[in-house]
Amino acid sequence: MQRADPLSEASLNATIYAEMRQRLVTGRLAPGHELSTRSLAAELGVSQTPVRDALSRLAADGAVAIRSKRRIQVPLMTKERFDDLLRCRLLLEPEAAARALDHMDEACLTSLREIDAALDRAIAEDDPDSYMRLNHAFHFTLYRAQPGPTMAQLIETLWLQFGPFMRLVFGRLDAARLNDQHQAAIAAIVARDPEALRKAIAADIGDGMGLLSRSGFAANGTAPTK
């Protein structure tokens, strides 16, 4: 019997894990969503083994909860969990942005402007898929410019946990207002002003998560329906 190439297996596991992470940070998987390894494996055209590996890693990240061998769920959002995520985002993200400032070149700034323009179009077209993907791209283009991978990795873990909830309440967001904070961030980068950049990112987080918090939480741990 031919043995699987360990390098190919590792590459497949990494690909499935990256795909599942992308689904979470862009809110394609909603809070409370039940995940089936069999269904996911069939959809992705792989065996259940790399899917189980990816879900186990995501459980370690706090992004999914393994209830039993066959029951895996995207966690519901509670006020306590929401407040904890907000506190951690405000500690890490403004600092990551400020640390990135000295490492941003004109190409990076151009990318941010292009992403921000595409965000405007997604908002105007009421396109939550594109909005979630582009909002993530804007922030992580900035955070990953700072030296060392650890801070960006920690922030990504927070986004894994918050992305599903953000998608549920996309329709309530004052998205144009949030996008203005991106413009403030770009202006701070052009001015090479780390404190202004910290304030813009903190305001972006505070505006968005503050609006979500004020919408309240239903008894099942998610935001109430419209």
- pTM surpassing 0.95? no
> What does the radius of gyration of the chain's CA atoms come to, in whole angstroms?
18
Q: pLDDT (tens digit, 0 to 9) for every residue of the chain, 226 residues total?
A: 344 555 588 889 999 999 999 999 988 998 899 999 999 999 999 999 999 999 999 999 999 999 877 789 999 988 888 889 999 999 999 999 999 999 999 999 999 999 999 998 998 888 988 989 999 999 999 999 998 899 999 999 999 998 888 876 666 655 445 558 999 999 999 999 999 999 999 999 988 776 666 555 543 445 443 3
DSSP string, 60-80: HTTSSEE-SSS-EEPPPP-HH
Side-chain half-sphere of 44: how many Cα atoms within 13 Å?
Answer: 23
pLDDT score of 170: 67
pLDDT score of 151: 95
Domains of the chain: 6-73 (1.10.10.10), 79-214 (1.20.120.530)
